[in-house]
Chains A and B, each alone.
Chain A
């Protein structure tokens, strides 16, 4: 077993090097050997992908490699993530190690011509690699075909580059939940570390959209059940996520004030209401935050409007939009939001005059006829 893990580690290094300038020293033999290695590990993946202790051991070693902070030493390329070496190797990656290696080499301008020539010969049907049906060329061509299919179908989805693409979000959300499950299975608590890293690494609006999508994904019907038949070739398909796939994500969000605050501040109000409607714990946390933020608003007599003390804090308009969407959401969220409004207003003295309590004004807005005419797009409309 240790030998296999050693080989795995070496291959991860080879894969990482193939994407760096260190590949400039590669010749034909290096390409041949690395492809041979990738093929061997594909067989390993095929044999142990359906769980089992061997898979756990392989995943554990790959995890450790991902977390390894420094290069292995000397001039060797790092196995740990670095911008040049691309994403680190995952267990699923072993199943398509040849493709990853080939794509890495192909995109690497440092690779000398003879070495690339060696690779290209192996993509042809007469190439010296495996029988053509199972060949690397076929798998790469299949990928190209799927990419072309995505290109052809994407305009039909009615979303351009300027518009957020729900299908793209959904795919990313599924991949996120899949990775979280794998991390949690490998080591309890690892999923939270991953989420912390992603929170720091990715642009906030984009990351929050994926998180929201993941929290809204419908749960699979049964334990390890699926909305559609589980993929035999793909044990880690999103349909295999289990009954409560978003639970670790929700737990992380509720335990991290900064991401939760960003979610409340940046997510479009109707979407935030949908999330709160789906997850009662999140609804409570959001209402608490809104309550807290409302406390920082004061009525500016010169402007005749509620303004925030912190220029980067929550605006009156945002607060109004959020409460509007919460109150108009299906029960129990609407009920919860109205009770919160009523109790806060009562606590402020229950005055009817505008400008005295932010809660009175929110409730008035909610009651007014004009209120219902606002479009639900989170626009900052002034009355």
Chain B
């Protein structure tokens, strides 16, 4: 928590002087200045004098007081001093500087007020005043600052604090005066009669409406009017000339910061987000853009897809934060989420929809690329990329009529023919043609890899990364290999070998292929073995081929799910593996069941068994983690 000394207080005019300046002005000299005088608590409560700036004395007194308190008290007290300084400096937030400063501090202020309330609620009036002699100064000032009142739950906490301080049975003049002051401050905070908006009441009250009736309607009309003005201005920007200068639009975005989570102002937020100035530089406050993004990620506001797209297009840090937020959700917070659940999270994030704009896709993809490299391609990250791509393709196919972006703009460094074959949805292809399609993919990739001597290493990895996006075809290749449906197993094995070992050089790849073929042959022999034991499976994985372990596990897992005998010992085999390998296998099963569900094989026996196995293993893992 930031702490600053009292200089700010000492250089500012006394609040009473501010108040008198306000009252001396002609009515209507400015909306904020036209507010009634700032009410302060009774003098003998907060110790201010009329003839000198009270804060100097109070701060000194307060500092002496705070030295006597315990450490936690000291902390709160110093924070108290900081926030009182701030409240004095802000006034009613009439200047741009003070408005920016208020907006910057609002989240911290709310935390502080919450702390104060937590302390006050256990105290009676006298203890509270001993502990916080200037509490009235602070609350009084904050209650007059519309930025503070408008922000999130500030108005509620201020109300609670004032309620705590009210004396049930006042015994002396001070308590009576304090009660009167609290009542008037609460009236100011909650009621509409002294707002500078008095004229609102005349007609509405004559019609029998009250403030809870007309304030929501008034606000709604204000918001719609401003949003409409922005839209008209935006259109005029291309023809006649604008009526709202960019500076005012920036001020508008600043004023919206405290109100971001208020549902009523959503149309204005969206109009601001989709508004483009004529200059290349950003005209909206960066704090506003950050705030909107944060509120959206925390699900405090529900923005339209177009508004989110505008936000991420105009503010790169927000897009990066949104992508990392999604990753964090999928990898850490919802670690055991199934691909179906992942799909919901991903779609809900609106990132796949926004990624239909190539600029956004490329940045999200770059983050995926880094995640893949940094995690050494763990199964979870592979699954996230695969599911995200699936969601993106759905959104792309749905929106492409309007957007008209060529596929090449999403994957500029890869072969267009490879993109086209990988984009093929297996569901739209008869099952009998899957192997043929896989051969086609394999041939294209092989050609690229073999030609890579003339290309950069990055190009090879770009193609591999593209293949990772559509990793479903690698999963199908493994399944086809086990079901003996492949006319040319070597082609499919090559595909899998490339999937898991993209960095192999020529000779290494030849060796990988030999090892993979041997392992595949070994696994296929297991179909005939009875009884089948875990030891037989371990023999396959404990082979001499450390470089293709993941490929072998992928094939072996398909064997476990597709062979009746394999299924019986699948659980036993998986739980004997290390945590890392078990997690990889679980992830593979989840991906396989997800694919089977979508392809409509869920009613078939292997799909049911795989689903049961997944559930049992997840229960087992959870129990082991718990123990």
Contact = CB atoms under 8 A, between A and B. Distances in A.
Interface string B170-206: 1000000001000100110111110111011011111
A153 B272 CA distance: 14
Contact of A206 (B155, B203, B207, B262): B203
Interface stretch (A155-163, A248-256, A277-285, A313-321): A155-163
B508 interface: no
A198 B197 CA distance: 21
Interface in A182-219: 198, 201-203, 206-207, 210
Contacts of A92: 209, 213
A207 B167 contact: no
Interface stretch (B250-258, B406-414, B419-427, B442-450): B250-258
B226 A148 contact: no
A238 B258 CA distance: 27
A93 B208 CA distance: 9
Contacts of B219: 146, 149-150, 153
B8 interface: no
A175 B217 contact: yes
B30 interface: yes
B210 A96 contact: yes
Contacts of A126: 121
Nearest to B149: A148
A380 interface: no
Interface stretch (A116-124, A286-294, A329-337, A371-379): A116-124
A113 B167 CA distance: 7
Contacts of B213: 92-93, 96, 175
Given A156-B226, A198-B207, A202-B202, A146 B163 contact: no
A25 interface: no
Contacts of B317: none
A143 B160 contact: no
Contact of B205 (A87, A109, A144): A87
Contacts of B207: 172, 175-176, 179, 198
A157 B193 contact: no
Contacts of A154: 31, 197, 222
Q: Is the interface of A mostly helix, strand, loop or mixed?
A: helix
Contacts of A175: 203-204, 207, 209, 213-214, 217
B262 A149 contact: yes
Given A87-B210, A107-B187, A154-B222, A113 B150 contact: no
B255 A144 contact: no
Contact of A153 (B30, B162, B187, B226): B226
B163 A124 contact: yes
A157 B222 contact: yes
A155 B212 contact: no
Contact of B30 (A113, A160, A167, A234): A160
B28 A162 contact: yes
A86 B258 CA distance: 32
B329 interface: no
Contact of A144 (B30, B189, B200, B264): B189
Interface string B263-299: 0110010000000000000000000000000000000
A125 interface: yes
A146 B262 contact: yes
A302 interface: no
A137 interface: yes
Contact of B222 (A93, A140, A167): A167
A93 B205 CA distance: 12
Contact of A148 (B146, B160, B162): B146
Contacts of A93: 208, 210, 213
Given A99-B212, A137-B160, A143-B190, A152 B121 contact: no
Interface residues of B, number: 71
Interface in A243-263: none
Interface string A84-126: 0011101011001001101100110100011011001101111
Contacts of B155: 141, 144-145, 148
Nearest to B226: A156
Contacts of B255: 152-153, 156
A145 to B, nearest CB: 5
Interface in B145-166: 146-147, 149-150, 153, 155-156, 159-160, 162-164, 166
A74 B204 CA distance: 31
Contacts of A66: 208
Contact of B203 (A100, A102, A160, A176): A176
Contacts of B153: 141
Given A106-B190, A157-B226, A145 B262 contact: yes
Contact of A167 (B189, B225, B258): B225
A160 B32 CA distance: 10
Nearest to A125: B160
B160 A123 contact: yes
Counting contact residues on chain A (CB < 8 A from B), the size range is 35 or more
A138 B212 CA distance: 13
Contacts of A99: 212
A166 interface: yes
B121 to A, nearest CB: 7
Interface string B209-246: 11111111111011101100000000000000000000
Contacts of A198: 203, 206-207
Contacts of B202: 202-203, 206
B203 A172 contact: yes
A212 to B, nearest CB: 13
Contacts of A114: 168-169
Nearest to B201: A87
A183 to B, nearest CB: 10
A151 B215 contact: no
A87 B193 CA distance: 13
A87 B259 CA distance: 30
A13 to B, nearest CB: 16
Interface in A48-106: 66, 86-88, 90, 92-93, 96, 99-100, 102-103, 106
A237 B213 CA distance: 10
A144 B187 CA distance: 10
Nearest to A88: B208
A21 interface: no
A157 B159 contact: no
Nearest to A236: B213
A168 interface: yes
A147 interface: yes
A174 B214 CA distance: 10
B248 interface: yes
A165 B183 CA distance: 31
Nearest to B93: A152
B521 interface: no
A120 B432 CA distance: 74
Contact of A100 (B27, B210, B258): B210
19 contacts: A87-B205, A88-B208, A106-B186, A109-B183, A123-B160, A124-B164, A145-B262, A147-B197, A148-B146, A150-B218, A153-B226, A153-B255, A171-B200, A175-B213, A201-B206, A202-B206, A206-B199, A234-B216, A238-B217
Given A124-B163, A141-B155, A234-B216, 11 more contacts: A90-B209, A100-B210, A103-B191, A139-B212, A145-B262, A147-B195, A151-B195, A152-B147, A165-B199, A175-B203, A176-B207
Q: What are the 4 closest A-B residue pairs judged by CB atoms, nearest first?
A: A161-B28, A141-B156, A148-B149, A148-B150
Interface of B: 27-28, 30-32, 34, 121, 146-147, 149-150, 153, 155-156, 159-160, 162-164, 166-170, 179, 183, 186-187, 189-193, 195-197, 199-200, 202-219, 221-223, 225-226, 248, 251-252, 255, 258-259, 262, 264-265, 268
